[in-house]
Amino acid sequence: MSALLGRIRALVGGLSASERRLLGVAGAIITFVVVWLAVVQPVLGARRNAAARVETAQRQLAVVQRLRAEFDEVNGRLSSVEERIARGPRGNIFTLLETLATRSAVKVESMEPQTPLSSEEYRETKVEVVLKSVTLGQAVNYLHQIESAEQLLSVKSLRMRTRRDNPQLMDVTFTVSSFEPVS
């Protein structure tokens, strides 16, 4: 190693002053490029990556906060419905639907039990109701009576068709569900 250094000193010693300055400038430029590529560029790249990761994390946090708010809102509505089911009156859904139809001045054509979905916590009673030759006002009034009944009733599906023989009247078919706790 000392022999190599001796040879370099001898070589540099044999150069003129302007050649030594040129060699120093070239060495400084090479050193600057090496430092730039080995130290500065990786640091700047890491900084850009960190900024991008922070931005991504902030977007993800905003999404999580929005989802949390939606979850809390849905969970609150679910708790309200579960409380209403637990506290609400129980009774025969067929009798209740007939009573509400009488209040709404609607004649029910038919009520057919449907196969409900099963749940470990709640028993569902599902009924398909058919109304024939009713006005829109009568149908809306009856549906409003169902939705605002003390016993929790839920209209699951609704089909309305105007009648060919009298366009002022319609046939209405809908499914109503009632829930009660299993235990």
Q: For 143-162, what is each residue's pLDDT tens digit?
A: 999 998 888 888 989 999 99
Please give the sequence-ordered ranges of beta strands (E in DSSP) within 100-152, or none if there are none: 108-114, 122-134
**pLDDT bracket for residue 183 (50, 70, 90):** low
Short-list 59, 84, 99, CA closest to 152 = 84
Instruction: Quote the CA–CA distance of 142 and 164 in Å, as a whole number.
Output: 22
Q: Are 81 and 105 members of one domain?
A: no
Whether residues 67 and 131 fall in one domain: no
Tell me what pLDDT residue 44 has: 84
* Mean pLDDT for all residues in the chain: 87
**C-alpha–C-alpha distance, residues 89 and 151, integer Å:** 5
DSSP 3-state of 104: coil
Q: Which pLDDT value is given to residue 79?
A: 86
3-state secondary structure of 79: helix
Among 62, 87, 112, identify where a domain stops: 87
pTM equals 0.57
CATH number of the domain that residue 143 is part of:
3.30.70.60
Quick one: 29 and 102 in the same domain?
A: no
Are 152 and 80 contacting, i.e. CB atoms less than 8 angstroms apart?
no
| Parent domain of 8 | 1-87
Residue range 22-63, pLDDT digits in tens = 888 888 999 888 888 888 888 888 888 888 899 999 999 999
